Structure 1
Amino acid sequence: MTDAEVQRAAGGALWRCSHPDGDPPDEGIEVALVHRPRYDDWTLPKGKLNPGESDLAAALREIEEETGYTGSPGRYLGEVSYLKPTDGEARPKVVCYWEFRATGGSFFPTEEVDDLRWLPVDGAKGLLSREADQGILEAFEEQPVTTSVVLMVRHASAGNRAEWERDDRLRPLDAKGRRQAEGLVSLLRPWAISEIVSADFVRCVETVQPLGESIGVSITQDPLFSELGYPGSEERAIELVRTMANREWVTCLCSQGDVIPDLLGRLARQDDLAPHPRKGGRGSFKAKKGAVWALCWSRGRLVGAESLGPPHQGLEASLELPGTLG
């Protein structure tokens, strides 16, 4: 069975506080289920990917189309696989799910979805028509909901260090790196990024420059996240990342290959985060050039991390706290 023969879809556990003025994760949490009259079933919002669309982008789009609500992505929750009858034969289908916090909107019935219910997780599990979907909500409730996200980007391709004769801090992106930087714009679009921080190397700044220009956010340069500024200042770097994590918005941070694995490893050990690879994942904190780690935090504590490959290479691995979804 080739990848082309597998039907891919994506969706999410859309949640909100049960009280309008509630403050997660202290207040009760409700998740949204939708009713599809065509199948007469209750399900998490989901749908098929459009051509060239990433799993996460499709999940965000489908949630808005089926529920009327916009959402902010949080932890990756896993996938559900099953055989779906298509053109007289059973075709494998894989649905990937994320956690999404409802950020606005309202529901209006359509021909595809005629009802929506906000329910506590236990109630939602009881109403779901497909038993396999209950595992997604079990994964959702295993960790506190995400309150902030830090997107840690490794700079894109920048040629060969050995062939660069000038100050290495000035080495720019090559043609491949410029394409990767442009690709980051669409890869990171599902997150409403409010802040961009970069190591003060030209290749790091150039990696997030198209992103900053596309969303109208300026880039703050900080030498602390460069391979020259980080050694000996690891605790300061950790403190600054945790400051980012305590803000209720999304920060994009561009750094280098010698910094990211060590920095993530230190943060993970402090918060008892263990490598937990998905299928085909390496289960480590390494990142290819142009790749992204989406770090999910709950009240300043790291509760999940997801490795997004360089643009157009897809999802590579995820990490969860020990004992959670495999």
Structure 2
Amino acid sequence: MSKSSPSPVPSRLVRAGGAVTWRLRTGVRALPGQSLDPADLEVLLVHRPRYGDWSWPKGKAELNEPLPVTAVREVEEETGQVVALGAPLTTQRYRLGSGQTKEVRYWVGTPLEEGAALRTRRPVEGASHREIDARRWASPSRARALLTRRGDRRLLTEVVARAESGTLITSVVALLRHAKAVSRSSWEGDEAERPLTRLGVQQAIDLIDMLSAFGVEQIVSSPWLRCASTVGPYATAAGLDVDARPELTEDAAASDPLPASRVMEELASDAPAPVVVCAHRPTLPVLMEPLAACAPTRVQADLPRESPWLSTAEMLVAHVARSSREAASAGDGAAVTAVERHATYTKLVLPD
């Protein structure tokens, strides 16, 4: 009897997400742009009895789950702590025993104790004691001694460096292209009233988890129906009003792009809370210009460079480090430290 051929080594990439969640010690306060003493920080670790290690909370993405949604879900499942995501950290890649490559996307996480985004979170089932048997807030020095993997210690070093440089506290300014709309050629009504398709409606619903993951507390939108309908489900779930700006419509931006550009410039320089701006494809480059203007060259390279700029229901998330009052008085303003793009997987399960 001939020997059977060996099974092929799996090559599928295993996608996972997690966060290095931090907080300030009790009694310590900090302002954006302020350098933080690492001794004033605490970070959240988990212990996995199966591996006998201390690590950052993380886990594999569920089917068609965007990684930011994975990250906040896994942190809550493993620690009980609800978090909002800040700027991304270095992606970790390593080979599993099965031969697969695991890629873990990490973000800075901050505890979410109140606010609109908290109202949008779905209930999660906590990790079993067999999976996670201990959770601990620890100082960076204690965390470094506990962490088992070298890659996890590198992430801690990255967080501490940002704290010392004043860039650990960042704000989210997200630019969202509206969901899939009925085509112009098949619509005979007023352009401002062109609605979403069935796919677009589902994309808008699926965006709730994505906007929640980044802790969005403010919604700015073109008043045209396809934009308003895109952010409507999140606004309803979060209990937020939509700040409709006529200067963001296609017609207004084409006639005079400066007012639309100023909307984004003002939000990037002084948004009071994580904000999303929903707009039309032709206005996207106008709205990206203020972000590019306050971004270093390495970040500018990550901005979309050609039409259609973003896919329908895709979001460009800019992470803005704001200056301390002292830095602002010296002429240094807000700076975009990172940008990333995220979209729903709606098209995979609901073709248009």
TM-score, normalised relative to structure 1: 0.79
Separation of aligned partners in 2, 1:251 and 1:258: 21
Is the contact between residue 13 and residue 100 of structure 1 (CA under 8 Å) also seen in structure 2?
yes
Amino acid at match of 1:96: R
**Counterpart residue number, 1:17:** 24
Residues 75 and 306 in structure 1, CA contact (< 8 A), matched pair in contact too: no
1:158–1:172: 8 Å Cα contact kept in structure 2? Answer: yes
Unmatched 5+ residue regions in structure 2? 1-7, 115-126, 323-333
Deviation at 1:11, TM superposition (A): 0.9
2:289 is aligned with 1:289 = no
- Stretches of structure 1 that go unaligned for 5 or more consecutive residues are 315-326
Q: Residue by residue, what CA displacement relative to the aligned partner does 1:198-255 show, whole Å, maximum 9, x if unpaired? A: 1121111111112222222222211122222231325532343236x431x2222211
Larger radius of gyration: 2
Q: CA deviation at 1:84?
A: 2.0
Q: Confirm or deny: 8 A CA contact 1:146 1:296 kept in the other structure.
A: no
Residues 239, 276 of structure 1: CA spacing in aligned structure 2 closer, same or farther, 3 A cutoff? closer
| Counterpart in the other structure of 1:100 | 109
Instruction: Kindly indicate whether the alpha-carbon contact (under 8 Å) linking 2:86 and 2:107 is maintained by their aligned counterparts in 1.
Output: yes
2:44 is aligned, of 11, 32, 40, to: 32
Amino acid in structure 1 at the alignment position of 2:224: F
More helix by share: 2
| % identical equivalent positions | 28
Aligned positions of 1:73-152 closer than 5 A:
73-85=85-97, 89-104=98-113, 110-111=129-130, 112-120=132-140, 124-125=143-144, 127-141=146-160, 143=162, 144-152=167-175
Amino acid at match of 2:29: G
Task: Write the letter of the residue equivalent to 2:211.
Answer: L
Q: Could you say which residue in structure 1 is the equivalent of 2:119? A: none
User: Is the CA contact (8 Å cut-off) linking 2:75 and 2:81 kept in structure 1?
Assistant: yes
Question: Which one of the candidate residues 30, 42, 65 is aligned to 1:53?
Answer: 65
Asked if 1:187 corresponds to 2:199, the answer is: no
The one-letter amino acid of 2:252's match is: G
**1:246 pairs with 2:266:** no
Report the AA paired with residue 130 of structure 1: R
1:24 Cα deviation after fit: 4.5
Q: Matched residue of 2:214: which SS?
A: coil
Query: Which range is displaced more, 24-33 or 219-228?
Result: 24-33
Residues 126-184 of structure 1 show CA distances to partners (whole Å, capped at 9, x for unaligned) of: 54311123343344455412442222211112233244344322222222222222221
Given that 1:109 and 1:115 are in contact with CA atoms closer than 8 Å, whether structure 2 keeps it comes out as no
Counterpart pick for 2:190 among 162, 167, 188? 167
1:298 to 321, 338, 350: 321
1:67 aligns with 2:79: yes
Give the structure 1 partner of residue 122 of structure 2. Answer: none
Q: Alpha carbons of 1:276 and 1:38: their partners in 2 closer, same or farther (altered >3 Å)?
A: farther
SS at match of 2:240: coil
Confirm or deny that 1:307 pairs with 2:341.
Answer: yes
Question: How big is each residue's C-alpha offset from its partner over 1:280-312, in whole Å with a ceiling of 9 and x where there is no partner?
Answer: x96779211211112222224322221112444
User: 1:258 and 2:305 equivalent?
Assistant: no
CA contact (8 A) 2:58 2:75 kept: yes
Q: What's 1:6 paired with?
A: 13
Which aligned pairs between 1:259-274 and structure 2 lie closer than 5 A? Answer: 259-272=283-296, 274=299
| Counterpart Cα distance in 2 of 1:137 and 1:81 | 16
| Higher RCO (CA < 8 A, seq sep 6+) | 2
TM-score, normalised to structure 2, is: 0.74
Rounded to whole Å, the distance in 1 between the matches of 2:43 and 2:92 is 18
Alignment partners' CA distance in 1, 2:206 and 2:266: 27
* CA distance in 1 between partners of 2:19 and 2:171 (Å): 17
The equivalent residue for 2:258 is 232
Question: For residues 235 and 252 of structure 1, what CA distance do their matches in structure 2 show?
Answer: 15
Q: Which amino acid aligns with 1:82?
A: Y
**Distance of aligned partners of 1:235 and 1:189 in 2 relative to their CA distance in 1, 3 Å threshold:** closer
Over aligned residue pairs, what C-alpha RMSD do you find? Answer: 3.2
**Could you say if the C-alpha distance between residues 235 and 185 of structure 1 is closer, same or farther in structure 2, counting changes exceeding 3 Å?**
closer
Distance 1:169 1:54, change over 3 A: same
Look up the equivalent residue of 2:75 and give its one-letter code. Answer: I
